[in-house]
């Protein structure tokens, strides 16, 4: 799809401004079907004064210059935190208290005593 620059007239100040091909493409990508009815400076002024145009999304909708395209970059910063939705892997250890088999969600290091659910619960209760 190719776009051509268009000259539009601002309905606020009557000035002519160019709706560039790049902007048209940007609008199309965002799903906007309307052409801008105001020149860039009037749009800035309206935004600054808090007057909401369409789609009052706080994150800048039309501010082509400031960001917008950077959304893609985020999403990589989720780090290695394990997803909680997945199946948790359980490891078998021997309860240090009652000697029964205990399932724990971490690899038993051998340094810390492992407690089964029951013992863990009762120990916690005793502490409180």
CB 40 within 8 A of CB 33: no
- Shortest CB 88 distance to Zn ion, Å: 20
Please say which residue, 21 or 98, places its beta carbon nearer to Zn ion: 98
Q: Does 39 bind Zn ion (CB under 5 A)?
A: yes
Site for Zn ion in 47-106 (CB under 5 A): 95, 97-98
Segment 7 to 36, residues that bind Zn ion, using CB under 5 A = 10, 12-13
Torsion over CA: 95, 101, 107, 110 (sign): positive
Is the CB of 7 or the CB of 70 nearer to Zn ion? 7
Return d(Cα 75, Cα 40) in angstroms, integer.
30
Give the interface segment with Zn ion, choosing from 19-27, 56-64, 83-91, 114-122 (CB under 5 A). 114-122
Distance between CA atoms of 26 and 21, rounded to whole angstroms? 9
- Which of 29/123 has CB closer to Zn ion? 123
Residue 105 CB, nearest distance to Zn ion (Å)?
16
């Amino acid at each position: 799809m190719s776009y051509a620059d268009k000259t539009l007239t601002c309905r606020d100040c009557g000035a002519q401004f160019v709706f560039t091909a790049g902007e048209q493409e940007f609008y199309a990508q965002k799903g906007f079907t309307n052409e801008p009815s105001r020149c860039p400076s009037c749009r800035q002024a309206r935004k600054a004064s808090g007057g909401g145009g369409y789609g009052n999304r706080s994150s800048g909708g039309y501010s082509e210059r400031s960001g917008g395209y950077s959304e893609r970059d985020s999403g990589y910063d989720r780090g290695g935190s394990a997803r909680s939705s997945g199946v948790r892997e359980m490891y078998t250890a021997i309860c240090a208290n009652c000697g029964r088999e205990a399932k724990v969600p971490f690899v038993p290091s051998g340094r810390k005593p492992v407690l089964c659910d029951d013992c863990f619960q009762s120990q916690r209760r005793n502490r409180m």
